[in-house]
Structure 1
Amino acid sequence: MADQRAELTWTEDQIPVSDRFDDPYYSLQNGLEETRHVFLAGNDLPARFAPGFRIAELGFGTGLNMLTVWSEWEKSGQTTPLFFTSFEAFPMAPEDMSRALASFPELTLWSDRFLAQWQGGGCDLGTLRLEVIVGDARQTLSGWAGRADAWFLDGFSPAKNPELWGADLMQQVADHTAAGGTAATYTAAGFVRRGLEEAGFTVTRTPGYGRKRHMTRARKP
């Protein structure tokens, strides 16, 4: 299947906005701090890091979440690979990814290494084994053989991209989560939380980042 590339508009402060979903790729306030609050703290990371740890994600976007957690993996002293699998329907062109990531100089050490090898699909960066599965996650996730210790649920807004948040897909997320595994997302939409609960997660609503009052954390018993 040929890639359907992400189509972007850039704001004055260089934040990419999806033309297809009319939604920014990360917080208009501080994308890096949002990632740390929602996806790292939301999954109790880096405290849970251990050799062989596996993260899965809905929505690769700019790669910001991956780079943020990879940097924390290395800074925590881990020397074995972090396994990171992301499902992305509309991959961003490498030049757009580079332009977006230039806004996060704290991550330059990791983004430079990533972009030097990135050609789509995946790459082995020593302490990171990255796999990006291109296509609609509703079709591709069921064929994935892995089970994640933590999920980053980072699709575009449920109001604008509801198909990435449906109950069937949340069930697939649960089916591909290790026992005791977790999931986190910036959204607190009721139907998303209900879908996670129906899939077998224990779900809690916690304070969100910035202007978002609440976010969602989930744990698989």
Structure 2
Amino acid sequence: MNDQTSTLDWNEDGVPISQRFDDPYYSLQDGLAETRHVFLGGNDLPARFVDGFHVSELGFGTGLNLLATWHAWRDSNVDGTLYFTSFEAFPLDIAEMRQALEAFPELAVLAGELLDALTPEGAQVKDLNFTLITGDARETLPAWREKADAWFLDGFSPAKNPELWEASLLSEVGAHTNPNGTFATYTAAGFVRRALSDAGFAVERITGFGRKRHMSVGSKPA
């Protein structure tokens, strides 16, 4: 979608691997099941959905998290609009996204709707208002004027992509979260949990997905 695209490898199962971070874009076991366990379940979705509910994420990647959330929104028959904002430094091009998402036929109809409407700034499709903010989130998130009801913290692993897990950035996540808002992330790294606690969240370590024993979730008191 712009000239700062990520360079990919594809493993034998068709999972995209970032050459820049040497990390897969989603679980090698089942990316959709991982998203549903970590990000939807971790934020108590779809139970919290209401008109105007706003999800934000660090790391748009292939768009899988957005599609899984939108799919849950549609299944919930919520009357209104889902707002979704992603912060992404290295956006994939549409052809790469389309190839990656072919692994999830359950999402094929929504993937087609999204990718056909996608621009470098996002997409407006029926009940979805999607904004894509490109660039370094350490610069773009502080300038963001909105707040989220739920955060998906989905950067590449803290060991390989430490920039998206810096305490100063996670503090901005807390500052850009509505009262009673939540976060979820696949990582249970102690320094990440401490930074999110310092950012104002009540943080818990719970059972992770697949081979990952633990993950982290939290809520921001009203």
Q: Which residue of 1 aligns with 2:21?
A: 21
Q: Which residue of 1 aligns with 2:130?
A: 130
State how far apart, in whole Å, the 1-side matches of 2:179 and 2:128 are.
23
Matching residue's letter, 1:27: S
Alignment TM-score, normalising by the size of structure 2: 0.98
State how far apart, in whole Å, the 2-side matches of 1:12 and 1:61 are.
19
Structure 1 residue 79: Cα displacement: 3.0
Alignment TM-score, normalising by the size of structure 1: 0.98
Q: Which runs of 4+ in 1 moved over 4 A?
A: none
State how far apart, in whole Å, the 2-side matches of 1:137 and 1:97 are.
21
Q: Which residue of 2 aligns with 1:85?
A: 85
State how far apart, in whole Å, the 2-side matches of 1:121 and 1:18 are.
22
Q: Which residue of 1 aligns with 2:33?
A: 33
Q: Which residue of 1 aligns with 2:59?
A: 59
State how far apart, in whole Å, the 1-side matches of 2:208 and 2:3 are.
33
Question: Taking structure 1 as reference, are residues 190 and 3 closer, same or farther at Cα in structure 2, changes over 3 Å only?
Answer: farther
Q: Which residue of 2 aligns with 1:115?
A: 115
Q: Which residue of 1 aligns with 2:192?
A: 192
Matching residue's letter, 1:92: L
Structure 1 residue 123: Cα displacement: 1.1
Q: Which residue of 1 aligns with 2:173?
A: 173
Structure 1 residue 3: Cα displacement: 4.2
State how far apart, in whole Å, the 2-side matches of 1:121 and 1:11 are.
30
Matching residue's letter, 2:183: A
Secondary structure in structure 2 of the residue aligned to 1:85: strand
State how far apart, in whole Å, the 2-side matches of 1:92 and 1:130 are.
16
- Asked if residue 207 in structure 1 is aligned to residue 207 in structure 2, the reply is yes
State how far apart, in whole Å, the 2-side matches of 1:219 and 1:108 are.
32
Matching residue's letter, 1:131: T
Gaps of 5+ in 2: none
Matching residue's letter, 2:159: A
Q: Is 1:94–1:119's contact at 8 Å kept on the other side of the alignment?
A: no
Q: Which residue of 2 aligns with 1:104?
A: 104
State how far apart, in whole Å, the 2-side matches of 1:163 and 1:211 are.
25
Q: Is 1:32–1:68's contact at 8 Å kept on the other side of the alignment?
A: yes
**Number of residues of Structure 1 aligned to a counterpart in Structure 2:** 220
Matching residue's letter, 2:39: F
Deviations 1:48-86 (A, max 9, x none): 001110000000000000000001101100131100000
Matching residue's letter, 2:49: F
- Asked if residue 140 in structure 1 is aligned to residue 140 in structure 2, the reply is yes
State how far apart, in whole Å, the 2-side matches of 1:71 and 1:199 are.
30
Identity of aligned residues (%): 58
